[in-house]
Chain A
Amino acid sequence: MSSDQLQRLKPGQSPHEPEKATLEGKNKFLGFWFFLGGETVLFASLFGTYLALNGPESNTSGPGPAELFGLELVFIMTVILLTSSLTSVYAIYHMKNLDFGKMQLWLGITVALGLTFLGLEIYEFYEYVMHEDHTFTSDAFGSAFYALVGFHGGHVLFGLLWIVTLMVRNSKRGLNLYNAPKFYIASLYWHFIDVVWVFIFTVVYLMGKLGG
């Protein structure tokens, strides 16, 4: 249960689910699901706040949702982030086959997509702040928008740092029973961020564009 956990796993070996082969792995797996349950309440609270503050009465300065949002950029961002979820699935698929190289490759692609998403989001915020008078402090709508979308963006950033840390840390020693659960829960986190974004896309952007 200890140092043999660090033995390198190679393709073709067992176990097929290295992330759940140890008690520590099982605990991490379950604990992380619980954590995501808590995160769900966190985002639900932010969504609730946003829905309470996205009406005209909360929009005391600057443009409202309908004028503000353009769907093209957000659509591209959505496609990118959804694709990154898919690529992380590939990564975990290769992890289950104990193919470390391919896993790293797909994680690398996931990170690249995530970075692109983040770059586009920063560009979007920059435009709002510089050209649209839509800031965190301009009115309650602005506060609610940046709180919700920014919290998500912060999660993306954290997820990227986390995955990169894992990739670099383990690049030399490959996959083992000790780090497999770590990769696995990082990918769970990444999916979660993705799901939250689907809701943001729908509730903030689509409904904002159509409802306004």
Chain B
Amino acid sequence: MSTATAQKKGFGATLWDYLTTVDHKKIAILYLVAGGIFFLAGGLEAMLIRIQLAVPDNDFVSAGLYNQLITMHGTTMIFLAAMPLIFALMNIAVPLQIGARDVAFPFLNSLGFWLFFFGGVLLNVSWFTGGAPDAGWTAYAPLSTTSPGHGVDYYVMGLQISGAGTLIGGINFLVTIVNMRAPGMTYMRMPLFTWTAFVTSVLILFAFPALTVGLFLMMFDRMFGANFFDPQMGGNHVIWEHLFWIFGHPEVYILVLPIFGLFSDIISTFSKKRLFGYSAMVFAVVLIGFLGFMVWAHHMFTTGLGPVANSIFAIATMAIAVPTGIKIFNWIFTMWGGSIRMTTPMLWTVAFIPSFTLGGFGGVMLAAAAADYQYHDTYFVVAHFHYVIVGGVVFGVFAGLHYWWPKFFGTMLSEKLGKLAFWPFFIGFHLTFFIQHFLGLMGMPRRYWKFLPNQDLDLGNLVSTIGAFLMAIGAVIFLINVIVTSVKGEKVSGDPWDGRTLEWSIPSPPPFYNFTQTPLVRGLDPLWIEKRQGNGKMTPAEPLGDIHMPNNSFIPFVMSLGLFIAGFGFIYQVDDKNWLIVGIAGMLITLGSMFVRSVKDDLGYHIHKEDLEKGAGSE
């Protein structure tokens, strides 16, 4: 259903439409809105942290609240902001880039979203029920297993539910990319964004189950009397560290790889050049994904695994810098001699290259195991990962949103406001985090509630806080841009950027079946080929015919709601066993909806050829 007809429907009908949708473009919007809201929540937490650290010996927030703030900031940003925003981009772009009408499993796509959403909501309910989790986003045992109250229980249940959603999403993209490509779209003709979405999905598939198990063990320890992490009962808390980082390191690449792909597409579009070293770029992504599984213990250099383990993991970690370097150079070479257009997406991209590279330098320094004894758990680490995550992922999400906004909403974000948002954010970012390297080298530990005056830490922290405010200003200007653009509602063409890939060959926003006729792909950058050698339009690979579409369904929502309810049951049965009833009831709702899904036939429906000719669903 196009947005135009959706607007004609009442609010209730639109809401119902979104609650039951299985259309990847609408699910992308859901991910965008939910992820955006969590991003604002996480940003607010960050501002409170920076206010507390603006001056020495500050009492703006209490120590306990501070712990909750840093925990929720990290957890929210990684799991509830960065992940869904990336899923928003993958959902809007991957099916369009490969010439598909939808993803392989539209139903599961919706289920993945609702699981993520309810998991995120559950986690945040903790703010109102006696305190959020406070053991850090890494939730190391025994700090997490002995943390009083229910905060960490919310962490466990919330992440478990949303993690299941992510896993489902990953499988969905894998099958979509393998099975749903249009004729002629071979693997080595796929846009880099699709390639990176593919590798990221592989990482999701093999990394998230380790977190699942870790969270189960922690749930058993905290809520059901098990002893996995309790040394007095024979347990071993290093197991948590391993499981967490076997997931956690791949996770950082899960976040950044799609962004790499996105930047590759953007650079090639706005340099009007084919990507330099396409196959090397693909190879580098695959290699990074592979190596990403071999380096988790660089987070545990100080745990005491011994010099042999530390050396091996140090070398493996440094090795990742090689394929990453390949990518950096290829981006630069793509721009070299191109006719560059400094649009907003390109601006974020060009800013990304040096920013991310600095983060990588910090990473390689940290990878020197012996030196890491000095850096570990200081602000140097905080600086490193914000350079890669903000300088990479957040810049990338901004770039991607500007780039694909037409495909999301059929409108175009204002270039003027876009650039106006960029500068304070960019400057603020470097102001906030560059100096944190030095604070770390001077010995300021991370996660401390306050620091003392006159230890040479005052100025650095103040600068950092000022930078954070500049970033907030940038984010607000972006929001204004969104509002202004939506209010104006000026429609744009299907191809406002003079694009190279398939998503630009169809209207903005695309009709709900995407392609009236599946396109025939004749090479890398298929639309560009047609612009150069053909008539500028994709040649159809099939005659006009009926299109098969999946039915909407409310079941994913109910299934996820069941787990949400069960989550409360499991959390509170610690205090009162009667809550187990709630837990079981929730599980029954979920299992019941799975049962309904299994026994009820869902064959979808057809859009008839005659209706297509009349232009059904297109603008």
A residues contacting B by CB (< 8 A) are: 1-3, 5-6, 23, 26-27, 30-31, 34-35, 37-39, 41-42, 45-46, 48-49, 52-53, 57-60, 136-137, 139-144, 147, 162, 165-166, 169, 178, 182
Contacts and interface: CB of A to CB of B under 8 A. Distances in A.
Interface string B182-225: 00000000000000000000000111111011101100110011
User: Secondary structure of the A side of the interface?
Assistant: helix
24 contacts: A2-B603, A3-B603, A5-B603, A6-B603, A27-B180, A31-B108, A34-B174, A38-B205, A39-B209, A41-B206, A45-B209, A45-B246, A46-B213, A52-B239, A53-B228, A53-B239, A60-B233, A136-B225, A137-B224, A140-B233, A140-B235, A147-B216, A147-B220, A165-B599
B214 A45 contact: yes
Nearest to B201: A34
Contacts of B128: none
A34 B227 CA distance: 32
Contact of A37 (B206, B225, B233, B606): B206
B306 interface: no
A165 B591 CA distance: 12
Interface string B241-274: 0110010000000000000000000000000000
B165 to A, nearest CB: 13
A53 B209 contact: no
A203 to B, nearest CB: 16
B30 interface: no
A2 B604 contact: yes
B234 interface: yes
A42 B171 contact: no
A31 B172 contact: yes
Interface string B534-552: 0000000000000010000
Given A2-B604, A45-B243, A140-B234, A31 B105 contact: yes
A170 B563 CA distance: 28
B212 A31 contact: no
A182 B180 CA distance: 20
A169 B601 CA distance: 10
B236 A140 contact: yes
Contacts of A5: 603
Most buried by A among B220, B233, B599: B233
A17 to B, nearest CB: 16
B563 to A, nearest CB: 15
Contacts of A136: 220, 224-226
A27 B104 contact: yes
Contacts of A143: 217, 220-221, 226-228, 235
A165 B595 contact: yes
B167 interface: yes
Nearest to B172: A31
Most buried by B among A5, A49, A141, A182: A49
Contacts of A166: 598
Interface of B: 104-105, 108, 167, 171-172, 174-175, 178-180, 205-210, 212-214, 216-217, 220-221, 224-228, 230, 232-236, 239, 242-243, 246, 548, 595, 598-599, 601, 603-606
Contacts of A57: 234
B212 A42 contact: yes
Contacts of A53: 228, 234-236, 239
Nearest to A37: B205
Contact of B235 (A46, A58, A165): A58
A52 B19 CA distance: 44
| A-B interface, 8 closest residue pairs, ranked by CB to CB distance from nearest | A58-B234, A140-B234, A143-B226, A45-B213, A42-B209, A41-B209, A137-B225, A140-B235
Contacts of B174: 30-31, 34
Contacts of A45: 209-210, 212-214, 243, 246
Contact of B228 (A23, A27, A59, A144): A144
B100 to A, nearest CB: 11
Contacts of A58: 234-236
B200 to A, nearest CB: 14
Given A23-B179, A26-B179, A59 B172 contact: no
Nearest to B103: A27
Contacts of B232: 60
Given A3-B603, A141-B234, A31 B175 contact: yes
B209 A140 contact: no
A178 B601 CA distance: 8
